[in-house]
Chains A and B, each alone.
Chain A
Amino acid sequence: MKESLIINICREKLHYLEFVKPIEDILKSKNIKFKTLNYKEIKETPDYEKIIICGTSLKDKEYLNANFSWIRDTNKSVLGICAGMQIIGIEFKGKLKTKKEIGFFKETFKEEFLGLKGENEVYHLHNNYVELSNDFKIFSKNTLTQAVKHKTKEIYGVLFHPEVRNKELILNFVKIP
């Protein structure tokens, strides 16, 4: 398997340990090779088969002003987590909205989404979400849209943090053939 890419978007360096390292640890546990880059280091479309954009803290809004236009052009698989999903949504003409959810929530996946099906407990930590354009298919929506995939591209987004209670989702993404 080719090396995967993990993208760190945290403004505060200490948040790497909270939002990026748990995802690195999940890949390490299965001996999956990866490289981690800060989003500021990415100038052109990254050449990795699997790309994960991690989340960040509630107070960090820096990612909203970052340039992620390469997402529109890439033909690689991308998974955006929380703020990462918002970044994807914004690139595809979604609208940023405000709604706070913190803690465990039960979400229903009407169709299988990277291994999750039916009711699952997920961990939320967000102040914002993105109302997505029609480019995306929705897999889970109770109050807010929780899991989506682009209709024609291998681009996935989850508003919750799978690294807390749904670790297998991350492995299933990396293992997509």
Chain B
Amino acid sequence: MKVAVLFSGGKDSCFAAFLAKKYGHDIECLISIISKNKESYMFHTPSILNVKKQAEIMGLPLILQQTEGRKELELNDLEKAIKTAITKYKIQGIVTGAIESVYQASRVQKICDKLKLECFNPLWQKDSIELLNDLIKNKFKVIITGVFAYPLDKTWLEREINERFIEDVKKLREKYKVHPAGEGGEFETFVLDCPLFKNSLKIKDRKIYGTKNSWAMDLEI
């Protein structure tokens, strides 16, 4: 089936794309929503312009859609982007990286239902440690590009998701209830390499900003 992936450049949407391809679907394009509102209800969009680089290296067209990021209204923008994917690339299905968020998943379901598209959420309800291990097993190179909860701090930025990382987040989960996959928005990730990429992306420069337990980095790729 021809599908479009709702793509943020982070580990979840990238791994969902990987699974869609593995199960025989043809990824026709990626859809990214750029929210002007950093507190968007639907979209996590750090380093969104680097998504362009990821799309390039996957050889896939990218539909970029701006949104003001106001509750519910941003769904109109998502619908608009999906309609573009239908007309331009004849997609029959949407793939998302939703794991836990019923808020996000049910809204995408409603849009797909309205537009008569299949909706795929291949990470739905997936155990977070299992997901991190799957990323390593499948040779995903993923780094942390933002941390937003105590006791995470600046030292976590640019850390790669590897076995040591998994051990550390397991400890944090026990002690502070930090979600190991960052689903509560505790951290944001960026994929530098995965089996869908023709080459690995290299970081040329980075700008770090933040305070206390809220840090993010802009990457120059």
Give the B-binding residues of A (Cβ under 8 A). Answer: 12-15, 17-18, 21-22, 25, 57-60, 100, 102-104, 123, 125, 127, 163-165
Contact = CB atoms under 8 A, between A and B. Distances in A.
A127 B109 CA distance: 11
List the 6 closest pairs (A to B, CB-CB), nearest first.
Answer: A103-B106, A22-B125, A14-B23, A17-B122, A18-B124, A102-B106
Interface residues of B, number: 24
Contacts of A15: 120
Interface string B106-141: 100110110011111111111100000000000000
A53 B122 CA distance: 19
B19 interface: yes
Contacts, number: 63
Contacts of B23: 13-14
A102 B120 contact: no
A17 B102 contact: no
B20 interface: yes
A59 B117 contact: yes
A65 to B, nearest CB: 18
A14 B109 contact: no
A103 B25 CA distance: 26
Interface string B71-113: 0000000000000000000000000000000100010011011
B124 A25 contact: no
Given A22-B125, A58-B109, A14 B102 contact: no
A127 B120 contact: no
Nearest to B92: A59
Contact of B1 (A12, A58, A125): A12
A58 B24 contact: no
B173 to A, nearest CB: 16
B120 A12 contact: yes
A59 B102 contact: no
Given A13-B24, A25-B127, A59-B116, 20 more contacts: A12-B120, A13-B23, A14-B19, A17-B19, A17-B122, A17-B123, A17-B124, A17-B126, A18-B122, A18-B125, A22-B126, A57-B119, A59-B112, A59-B117, A102-B110, A102-B113, A123-B102, A125-B109, A164-B102, A165-B102
